[in-house]
Amino acid sequence: MRLVVIGASGLLGREVVRAAVRRGHAVLALGCTRAPAVPPGVETGRLAAGDLAGAERMVLDRFPDAVVNASALSDVGACERDPALARQANTELPGRLAQLAHHVGARFVHLSTDMVFDGTRGPYRSTDAPAPLNVYARTKLGGEEAVMAAGRHGACVVRSTPILGNTPGGDRTPHERLFLDWKAGKVTRLFAEEVRQPVSAPNLADVCVELAERGNLSGIFHWGGRDAVTRLELGQRIARRFGLDPAGLVEGVSHADIPGLPARPRDLSVELHPLSGKLRARPQGLDEILDGLEVPRGCEDWWRARTGGDVVRRLEQGLDF
């Protein structure tokens, strides 16, 4: 299958490229400001922010069998600061890509977020009414609507939970950010009342590629891990996973402790049905997800000094591309 991955320089997009290559697909991997780092033999390119004409040329030149859109302005603070850019990246581009995919008869798989809900009554079903609390979430919901409006048949929206994984820079994912704090001598304050259901980047990537391959699934779906935990518990379990004592590294904090805190969703746990019963990919438990995490690049010496452990890099994680 000829597959185009947009947002291939990002956390998830990089794993989607790897999953697609493993499954024998011919991949074009597109970044925006960064060139994607890809396995040998994968073609790469860039799609500049706001370049809808470039998106059109790319799809009409290639006539792909499927497009996976893992691009987004995913930083919640950046979306608040520049709502127009957020709308362009999270609503307008997905809508145009979905129209183009529909036009050439390509499958379209688009990533959205559990944050379309306000967190007042999780676990959420994919049919529950969204109620986004911030610009990121509102523009992502706009993206879902634009994708479905372009043609429900042949398009999937996958609402993901927070993504755990390893990145080449060692500074993107939750455990990498925790390590950066700890290495800097900080105690990380984590919300004890916020419930999330993390997923691993490779597992979510497998789901995206499987959906790209399957002609009989379309609509809005939820995907995450099997286990919902508080952010505090997640931080504690990450510390323990690496042989570290959570006391002195993480501490619980409550929304009420922070004056002027913008509204934040409390419980964003999700039901994985019906997708979980329809795919070969299986939702992972948190222990399995944590087992796939590595000591982040740049934190090896700090971790060795703290634990006396050896940093083991799994070759198959291939962080160099």
Ligand X SMILES: NC(=O)c1ccc[n+]([C@@H]2O[C@H](COP(=O)([O-])OP(=O)(O)OC[C@H]3O[C@@H](n4cnc5c(N)ncnc54)[C@H](OP(=O)(O)O)[C@@H]3O)[C@@H](O)[C@H]2O)c1
| Sites of contact with ligand X (CB under 6 A) | 7, 9-13, 31-34, 47, 49, 70-74, 88-89, 93, 111, 113, 140, 160, 162-163
Smallest gap from residue 248 Cβ to ligand X (A): 26
Smallest gap from residue 259 Cβ to ligand X (A): 27
CA-based radius of gyration for the chain: 19
In the complex with ligand X, which residue's Cβ is closer, 197 or 236? 197
In the complex with ligand X, which residue's Cβ is closer, 191 or 302? 191
Cβ-closest position to ligand X: 10
CB 188 within 8 A of CB 92: no
In the complex with ligand X, which residue's Cβ is closer, 71 or 218? 71
Smallest gap from residue 49 Cβ to ligand X (A): 3
CA distance 253 to 249: 13
Active site residue 124: no
CA distance 50 to 78: 16
Of 136, 179, 182, 191, the active-site residue reads 136
In the complex with ligand X, which residue's Cβ is closer, 12 or 101? 12
In the complex with ligand X, which residue's Cβ is closer, 264 or 306? 264
Smallest gap from residue 301 Cβ to ligand X (A): 26
Nearest partner of 201 among 176, 221, 220, 218, judged by Cα: 176
Smallest gap from residue 159 Cβ to ligand X (A): 7
CB 107 within 8 A of CB 154: yes
CA distance 121 to 138: 18
CA distance 173 to 167: 7
The secondary structure of 38-54 as a DSSP string is: --TT-EEEE--TT-HHH
Smallest gap from residue 7 Cβ to ligand X (A): 4
3-state secondary structure of 156: strand
Tokens describing residue 206: 């497998």
Residues contacting residue 30 through CB under 8 Å, at least 6 positions apart = 4, 5, 6, 7, 8, 36, 44, 45, 46, 47, 58, 71
In the complex with ligand X, which residue's Cβ is closer, 302 or 317? 317
Active site residue ranges: 136
